[in-house]
Structure 1
Amino acid sequence: MSTTDSPASPQPGDARSVAGTAAFSKFIAVLQLIADAGTPPNIAKLVAASGYPRPTVHRIVAALQAEGLVAAVGGGGGGGGNTFALGPRLVNLASRSWERSDLRIAAVDALMELRNTTSETVHLAVPSDGAMVYIEKLESPHAVRMASRIGTRVALTSSSVGKAWLATLTPAEREPLLAQAPRVRFTEHTMTDLGAIRDEIELTAQRGYAEDREENEQSIWCYGAAILGADGRAVGCVSVSMPMFRREEDAQRSYIEPLLAACRTIAARLGPVCVR
């Protein structure tokens, strides 16, 4: 074959340079659909969501099960067959990663103090693919608790941690995210108007903390704030969440001041603090 007939040499980062990339992408896509599902999906739902042929989805799910990355968790009802959730091996791998995270290690003591001070549920979150993902959760000592778990993804525009993170970005960084963010109405309180969301982010930036006023979950109120590095950029966000019936009237003293103090403490442990 002449030089002019030779295929182009694969370049670094070119998907063609790795054999099996297309198949791997399908595996990851199905795994992500299972991870993001509000309730464990069955094969029919995965076929509909992925657009892949049913035999392909069957094959992918079977392979993921064999490796412990996905687990069957019961019948789907209505003849839908098994439903699927993340498997123990994947959860274990994720847990090891989060346990070794510098941010999580730096944050753990401050998060415990915040939980003990407020007696409410505390989350540590980081941005991930257009959403926020919880990498740590400390439960409230009260009987009524949050349904979230480590690994839960929450929307940028309706969660307190998402708003807090967006508020640290420049308009040029923020606008593409706002334009692409799915503005799902989780409750009657969820804001879906882009102008109203922009106003909310500006208010968050001015006061230094965010609010989720029953926007992700009915009857749940959250306060969130960013952990800022020395350059003023957020490295993660912290929230404190409580059911509406337990929310103290003096929110500034009960939740906001302890939350901001926790973020400053975590930032100090990571390195020089940027004080807002």
Structure 2
Amino acid sequence: MSLSDIQDEADVRAPHPVQGAASFSKFMAVLQIIADSPGTLDIAQLTKRARFPRGTVYRLVSALIAEGLITQSGESGTFRLGPRLLQLAAKTWEDSDLRTIARDFLVSLRDATDEAVHLAVPSNNRMVYIDKLVGSSTVQMKTSIGGQVELHSTSVGKAWLSGLPDERLLDVIKGLELKRHTANTLTTPEALLAELKRTREQGFAFDDEENEPDIRCLGSPIFNRQREPVGAISVSMPVYRHDARRHELCARLVRQTAKRITAELSRIL
């Protein structure tokens, strides 16, 4: 085989740029920025984060709004993920092996506590709710499937963090902003690490009005066969329904339920 033949064969095997890939990457970059900071960025802030020319960001945003992939607030001018994107994501969550495996266990947990229960998975340094069941009370949390919450201020987030090996945990915490949501929010790495140590020891995380005033939650991590945390479950309730007896009951049940889901997940997947 001649040198030219070898070069021709290499040219055939070499990857060629896909038409439209650069534009698609820009769309995805804008979507990711909005997903990471829902309802907080206007067009100027979005342009600064995206580092694309202002005209490019305008065109990208206009196309995304037209397709229903993002929405813009008429009052603040900030952006959120749109209904079409959430509908597409919901179809994936409906087919999720974890969601399917966990469903019956979540129903039992909801029935035993008569409180709201959530199933969440990690996504870009946040947790995303992929299932929710509510109790009989008319007073419930304003959460929804597809909603994103932060790691440091929620029981599902702290539960998932507690399952990480130390080196990975430290890397993740370095990337967190640790925003203050209430007077009880943990806003320093030292305080968060101390809390995660307690979480590991007791087997559940406790959100003591750290994400929302008047709401307390208890959560435990779910692991796969490799003992990697793949999600978390939680029981949530208003402060007036939380006392020492309810705390002990919900802590025991959320730990047991997470262990049962982990065992079933390890058996099937």
TM-score by length of 1: 0.83
Q: What is the CA-CA distance between 1:268 and the residue it aligns to?
A: 3.0
Q: What is the CA-CA distance between 1:38 and the residue it aligns to?
A: 4.5
Distance 2:19 2:134 in 1: 44
- Please give the secondary structure, in 2, of the residue aligned with 1:235: strand
Q: What is the CA-CA distance between 1:116 and the residue it aligns to?
A: 1.9
Deviations 1:34-57 (Å, cap 9, x if unpaired)?
334453755345335434443222
CA separation of 1:25 and 1:112: change in aligned 2, threshold 3 A: same
Q: What is the CA-CA distance between 1:209 and the residue it aligns to?
A: 0.7
Code of the residue aligned with 2:23 in structure 1: it is A
Who is 2:74 aligned against? 75
TM-score by length of 2: 0.85
Deviations 1:122-168 (Å, cap 9, x if unpaired)?
11111112222111122233222112222222222222112111211
- The partner residue of 2:259 within 260, 264, 275 is 264
Code of the residue aligned with 2:93 in structure 1: it is W
Who is 1:99 aligned against? 94
Who is 1:35 aligned against? 35
Q: Does the alignment pair 1:129 with 2:121?
A: no
Distance 1:71 1:135 in 2: 21
Alignment of 1:43-58 (within 5 A): 43-58=43-58
Alignment of 1:233-244 (within 5 A): 233-244=228-239
Q: What is the CA-CA distance between 1:102 and the residue it aligns to?
A: 0.3
Who is 1:147 aligned against? 142
Q: Does the alignment pair 1:159 with 2:158?
A: no
- Gaps in structure 1 of 5+ consecutive residues: none
Distance 1:169 1:205 in 2: 10
Q: What is the CA-CA distance between 1:225 and the residue it aligns to?
A: 0.1
Code of the residue aligned with 1:58 in structure 2: it is Y
Deviations 1:86-131 (Å, cap 9, x if unpaired)?
3332122101100000000001111112112212111111111222
Q: Does the alignment pair 1:209 with 2:208?
A: no
Aligned length: 263
Code of the residue aligned with 1:258 in structure 2: it is L
Who is 2:7 aligned against? none
- Please give the secondary structure, in 2, of the residue aligned with 1:107: helix
- The partner residue of 1:177 within 172, 175, 197 is 172
Distance 2:225 2:31 in 1: 36
Distance 2:233 2:23 in 1: 37
Distance 2:251 2:206 in 1: 10
- Please give the secondary structure, in 1, of the residue aligned with 2:144: coil
Distance 1:10 1:221 in 2: 60
Alignment RMSD? 2.9
Distance 1:118 1:159 in 2: 19
**Contact 2:225-2:265 within 8 A present in 1 as well:** no
- Going by fraction, where is helix more abundant, 1 or 2? 2
Mean CA deviation greater in 250-259 or 156-165: 250-259
**Contact 2:38-2:79 within 8 A present in 1 as well:** no
